[in-house]
Chains A and B, each alone.
Chain A
């Protein structure tokens, strides 16, 4: 039960949680909002907000880092393509490689999201 409770805590308040009322009433007593969860993670030693990220110890922190990383890559790619259009001195190969790296990072995030969704649904199907 501990594993299921902790995963419910993780996903409460995020859009991936299905709107069914059953698990909401069941987890109301033990749920922690996602915002407070992040605060708890931030209090742990070794966690940082920006820059080169030290290894995160919580799953939510890892996910947050990944989203930030993907966002950063997309920003770099968008900037490179914009510079290319504007005639600034960015080589074509730099812009193309930046765009491809952003694509691959985004694909990683999508796959992680799919796997998480699958495992969540698997857990929901378990007879408790």
Chain B
């Protein structure tokens, strides 16, 4: 494809990764109080694990060899235990009246969400800059 806007590949990879992360975060927040999921157990918090994918080294016109693009390696379940709350009247309470709630910490999720959206917007700014540079290039020598 035409590579008119520079750095398109790594920026779109980052946008994909960050939007996946935001989806996972919103799913965590939505299920923060789900004490019984389809498998009968409380919802387990999920988190996104990033990894690098080495891009193909570009030909020698000065472009950096091996530019790295982030990729979502996997969406893992957080193994930390959830909190137990004493609520004997709850339908999911066990014999001692304790209810297992999911291991989702709302504040942690909100902080992650802010970081993820900040990174997302930064990548959008990169894209905007690249696009304006390409438009300027197209007007070289125009009278």
Contact = CB atoms under 8 A, between A and B. Distances in A.
A96 B63 contact: no
B89 interface: no
Interface residues of A, number: 15
Nearest to B61: A89
A92 B4 contact: yes
Interface string B24-63: 0000000000000000000000000000000000110101
A89 B141 contact: no
B61 A90 contact: yes
A97 interface: yes
B1 A87 contact: yes
Given A89-B61, A89-B63, A91-B61, A96 B137 contact: yes
Given A84-B2, A85-B2, A93 B63 contact: no
A78 B95 CA distance: 80
Interface residues of B, number: 14
B96 interface: no
B81 interface: no
A85 B1 CA distance: 7
A23 interface: no
A96 B16 CA distance: 31
B59 A89 contact: yes
Interface of A: 84-85, 87-94, 96-97, 99-100, 103
21 contacts: A84-B2, A84-B3, A85-B2, A87-B1, A88-B59, A89-B3, A89-B58, A89-B63, A91-B61, A92-B3, A92-B6, A92-B134, A92-B137, A92-B138, A93-B140, A96-B137, A97-B140, A97-B141, A100-B140, A100-B141, A103-B141
Interface of B: 1-4, 6, 58-59, 61, 63, 134, 137-138, 140-141
